Amino acid sequence: AMTLADRIAVMRGGVIQQLDAPQTIYNRPVNRFVAGFLGSPAMNFLKGELEAGTAPVFKADGVSVPLGRYQFDGDGGRGGKPCIFGIRPEHIAFGDAAAAMPFTAESTVEIVDPMGSDTLVWTKLGGQIISFRVEADKTLRNGDAIRIGFDPARASLFDAQTDNRL
């Protein structure tokens, strides 16, 4: 459907969750179900809290992701509530590419999963497991210390109670 359609509908239990252009659904899912439904591997989800301030920040177990570049839906930028931070594996960079990203963090490789054309790497961020893609020719091993990074503007933030996009 992503390659053939101008618009697609993602349904759950017979109810349309989102009806839009494929790239809009992929990049701005309306809820956590839609976000997890599209993409292989699936979007990474981190549990944490949204803190308000001059610029909102997502916090989870010692990690603070500034959300100044994130486009909130409606009044979703109010802080003090549990939320889920979603980032797709292909939107996470490592090494030199990570250094150029608005958010970076040190991490340790947990699992390396060669897939042929690319490799999936599993690590932790905010005490939670996430995956990201690297080129097949990159050599990473379990236990390697690495720097990862991403642009929070490409993330998706969801209310922990309703699963709706913030």
Instruction: Write out pLDDT tens, residues 63-75.
Output: 999 998 899 987 6
**What's the pLDDT score for residue 53?**
75
**What's the pLDDT score for residue 74?**
72
Mean pLDDT calculated for residue range 61-88: 88
User: CB burial class (10 A; 0-12, 13-18, 19+) of residue 84?
Assistant: buried
Mean pLDDT calculated for residue range 25-42: 95
Q: Apex CA 25: angle with CA 23 and CA 30, to 5°?
A: 150
Q: Apex CA 153: angle with CA 48 and CA 7, to 5°?
A: 105
Query: In terms of pLDDT, which residue wins out, 54 or 165?
Result: 165
For residue 57, give the nearest of 86, 30, 77 by alpha carbon: 77
**What's the pLDDT score for residue 1?**
67
Q: Which domains does the chain have, with CATH numbers?
A: 1-38 (no CATH), 39-159 (2.40.50.140)
pLDDT mean across residues, the chain: 93
Structure token pair of residue 43: 């979007």
Using DSSP, state whether 165 is helix, strand or coil.
Answer: strand
77 has pLDDT over 70? no
Instruction: For residue range 115-150, list pLDDT tens digits in order.
Output: 999 999 999 999 999 999 999 999 999 999 999 999
